[in-house]
Amino acid sequence: MSKDFILPDIGEGIVECEIVEWLVAEGDEVKEDQPVVEVMTDKAMVEIPAKDDGVVEKLYYQKGDIAKVHEPLFAIKPADGSSDEAPAKDSAPAKKEEPKTEKNQTSAGGDTTDFILPDIGEGIVECEIVEWLVSEGDEVKEDQPVVEVMTDKATVEIPAKDDGTVVKLYHKKGDIAEVHKPLFALKPAGGVQESGSNAPQNHVDPDAKTSPSDSKAEAEPPAKARQGKAVASPAVRRLARESDINIAEVPGSGKKGRVLKKDIEAFKSGDQKSAASSDSQQPQKAAATSGGTRTEAIRGVKAAMAKQMMSSVSTIPHFTYADEFDVTDLIALREKLKEQYKEKGIRLTVMPFFIKALSLALKEFPVMNAQVNEDCTEITYFDDHNIGMAVDTKIGLLVPNVKQVQNKSIIDVANEVTRLTQASREGKLPQADMKGGTISISNIGVIGGTVATPIINKPEAAIVALGKVQELPRFDANGNVVARKIMTVSWSGDHRIIDGGTIARFNKLWQEYLEDPTSMLVNMV
């Protein structure tokens, strides 16, 4: 018996994505966490992994198709042969078995529909109801927050997908709700829509369809050319790029000014070009004015970072420790070696030295590589040194981590740093590289600044910020003034388990390894 793999949430506000490349074929065996398909959203390229071992029986989309979040992506026959869902049909994805709750997806009365709790984080299968923000009988609007839930990673607000009236709340405050199960029942403002079905609409691009809502939108005047981010699917964005058109200048005829394929075609043919051109010239005149404001929603990586940082500073008592490192000899060693390894295709920066030296110091101070539970009644020490490094990307700050640094050479670490940095900046960073970090490094010095007070990447216990390298006058052993390359490092520690003396001694050992790089050789495995 086969079951459908449901496309999970792949980013804040993302409801669809384009199939870029299938990494498997029908009939292939796959393992849990094996990448199955590469998809493109309007924010990044993402690889979707399998959740279980099994055999791929059917791919519901072809390369270039638009797939919908929370709808079947492919059918898989589990390795153990079990399935909680009906077998897939050749013509369309099988419907997921209706959850056993007080109401099914559509009630017997036919006028209400269940809101299914979506994926709210990698590996999260349940959450606790913290607070209902509405009551039964309340009217809600699309995107209005309905409930606040808490996972083992963060507190999240779940918004409504449609306008309507809340008919029933299936859980009480403090209850545990399961992902992919009904959360509340809603009577839609316009009645139950067929779009509530789990089956894809024959793989047709939604932007090419004609529906009653589209007809209504067509009767309205096109939206003016926007100056911010256009609302459009990945396929429409690709069409605009291929046509060498700035999609921000195209008036959208869809709901909420959404740019459709026909809008791109019309703009390309010149039907709307003059209107768009005149509209696009207006901001030039407005640019001379003053006193204006601009408001943007905080979404995606930035929203996740905001919640993570709020949780960190509100639950972890931070304290900061800073010191100067003389990295003259380290930089000289790196300069000596970088060309030699460049010929071998290895990009050798100073970061691998910092990461490896940190790992060597962690062996002597395991509390720096530990984590406490939420109520601070237990402390867990990790054998693996999974050292995170902050990467500044177009979509926000990402902190992938180099796994098991204690078992890697400096060259191994260098290759991982290169891979993680490139994947982050290309938007192709696998979720596995973001999970499991035990301590982090933020290299603010590549941008500027000497001292920082970094926020701990919860649930880790410490983070260090590297300042910029400055050539400064210092006294040598003979009392002569010499030029040395100096870097300030700034630590933030969890004061519940790390005290000032511990972090000072730990930092001193790390400093010794970096100021005399050859000393690392004696301690490396």
As a three-state string, the secondary structure of 448-499 is CCCCCCCCCCCCCCEEEEECCCEEEEEECCCCCEEEEEEEEEEEEEECCCCC
Centroid of chain to Cα 390: 13
Radius of gyration of the chain (CA): 27
Q: What residues form DSSP beta bridges with 439?
A: 387
Q: 3-78 sits in which CATH class?
A: mainly beta
SS3 state of residue 240: helix
Count CB neighbours of 459 within 10 A.
Answer: 20
Mean pLDDT per 10-residue section of the chain, whose length is 525 residues: 84 78 92 86 75 91 89 89 44 38 42 84 76 92 83 70 91 89 89 42 38 38 45 69 81 74 83 42 53 80 82 95 97 92 92 97 98 95 97 84 96 96 85 92 91 95 97 95 97 97 97 94 79
The pLDDT assigned to 12 comes to 60
The pLDDT assigned to 265 comes to 85
Cα–Cα nearest to 238, from 214, 252, 269, 259: 259
Domain boundaries, the chain: 3-78, 113-188, 317-523
One of 3.40.720.10, 3.40.50.2300, 3.40.190.90, 2.40.50.100 is the CATH number of 113-188, namely: 2.40.50.100
H or E element at residue 116: strand 113-116
Sign of CA dihedral 130, 148, 117, 103: positive
Count CB neighbours of 418 within 10 A.
Answer: 17
The catalytically annotated residue of 70, 180, 203, 495 is 495
Joined tokens for residue 44: 């990044």
DSSP at 249? G
Fold match between domain 113-188 and domain 317-523: no
Fold of 317-523: Chloramphenicol Acetyltransferase (3.30.559)
Question: Can you tell me which residue has the tokens 């829509």?
Answer: 193
At 3-56, the pLDDT tens digits run 889 988 776 667 888 898 899 999 999 998 788 998 877 656 778 888 889 999
Cα–Cα nearest to 72, from 124, 115, 29, 36: 36
At 340-353, the pLDDT tens digits run 999 889 999 999 99
Contacts for 468-474: CB closer than 8 Å, 24+ residues apart: 468/444, 469/327, 469/331, 469/445, 474/326
The pLDDT assigned to 47 comes to 81
The pLDDT assigned to 351 comes to 96
Q: How far apart are CA 523 and CA 434, in angstroms?
A: 28
The pLDDT assigned to 212 comes to 37
Active site residue 499: yes
Question: Can you tell me which residue has the tokens 């789990």?
Answer: 198
- Sheet bearing 126-132, strands edge to edge: 155-159, 145-150, 126-132, 176-178
The catalytically annotated residue of 111, 152, 175, 499 is 499
Identify each DSSP E strand in 314-426 by its residue range: 318-326, 370-372, 379-381, 387-389, 391-393, 396-398, 401-402
Centroid of chain to Cα 459: 17
Sign of CA dihedral 151, 157, 163, 169: positive
Burial 31-50 (b: 16+ CB within 10 A, else e): eeeeebbbbbbbbbbbbbbb
